[in-house]
Structure formats: C-alpha cells, structure tokens
Chains A and B, each alone.
Chain A
C-alpha cells in the first residue's frame, strides 16, 4: 500500500531564503509525482509534474527532483517570497486504479 509522507509538517523562513521541502513514498513503482500548492480556503494548484523517467523539473524559482529508487522527491524554492506562503502537497498514483495518494502537506510561512 502506497504511503506518502512530507517533512517538515510546517516551516517558517525569512524572505529571501532558499528552502527544501521533502516528500517520501513507500512504493517506488510510480508513474509520476506531482507537487501542488494550496492557499487557505482555495483549491490545489499544480506546480510541477515529474514523470518517472525524469530526474527533475523546473518552473521559475521552483525545482522538483525525483529519486524513485530511494522513494524521495524534493521541492526546492529559491529566493523565497511572502507570496510563497501556502501548504505544499506532493502526490503519487498508487494502487490498482492508480488513484492519487496525497501527502499531508508542508505548511510554509515566509516572513517579510
């Protein structure tokens, strides 16, 4: 059974810092991995989708890496801004129907 864990559960950093969010999954036989952002009272916004054959994906100040063999993904945020404050979730397809299994998220607060 696929399980997804995110560490840390919460993170507070001063503006301008680079930071790393971690995602671990127990079953390495994944098709892809997605990182989402959720703002309070809002839905999820897809940030990056990494296919199983890829090692990383970049979008602006965001870089996501994938190491299937160790069951890990990291989301690197460069030069953090207060507008980056949100909950970040990772998700992988799992099970017979490949339904998405979500982590519990990392609540990020970037202090101005």
Chain B
C-alpha cells in the first residue's frame, strides 16, 4: 500500500489551461503539504494543511489553490497555467502540526506547460 499517493504522475498541458493534482495519504497523519521542485532540483514548500485548515501559505500566486476535503486528502488546483509553472510537485504528510515530524513524500507529479 502506497503511503502518500498523488495523481497524475505526469501532466502535459497548454498555457492558460486549468489543471488539478490530487493527493491522498493513508498514514493517519494530521498535516499535509505541497512542495514544488524546480528544474534545478530546489525544493520549496507551497502550502501546508493541518486537519483541513491552512497553516502555511508561502508566496505563491493565487492561481494556485489548495483544497483539503478531509485530513487524508490535499488537492492542488492551478488556474491559467504559465510556462514557469513547469516543475515537479510533491505532496507530503507528517504527524503533528508543524514540519517537525518525519515527512513522508509522494512520488511527485511532473507538470509540463507548453
């Protein structure tokens, strides 16, 4: 059983489109995250949710909107995609309210905007 699973694994789309990435964790963790890894492999947090509530919202364009229907799911919707949005997006989860516990990552969703 995959602990943190995200879909789709690959996503190729045109500029201006809207797309969503879904994430689910079966670890019973309280906190879920979205990270972005750019072409230089630098990993940076975008959002963090604890029990469906937003607790970290980095300087991310408001075209990115996370949604957490329950504490096991955290989806990422992106409007009006731009070329610079091309990256690998990772979902992660941890126990507790902060990034102090061990993080478990999904395998990533590679987004390519043409």
Contact = CB atoms under 8 A, between A and B. Distances in A.
Interface size of A as a range: 20 to 34
Contacts of A34: 102-103
Interface stretch (B11-19, B38-46, B61-69, B73-81): B38-46
Given A31-B100, A44-B90, A102 B43 contact: yes
Interface string B44-69: 11001000000110100000000000
B41 A104 contact: yes
Interface residues of B, number: 24
Interface of A: 31-32, 34, 36, 41-46, 49, 87, 89, 93, 97-100, 102, 104-105
Interface of B: 4, 40-45, 48, 55-56, 58, 90, 92, 98-108
17 contacts: A34-B102, A36-B103, A41-B107, A42-B107, A44-B90, A44-B103, A44-B105, A46-B102, A93-B100, A97-B48, A97-B56, A98-B99, A99-B48, A99-B58, A99-B99, A100-B99, A102-B43
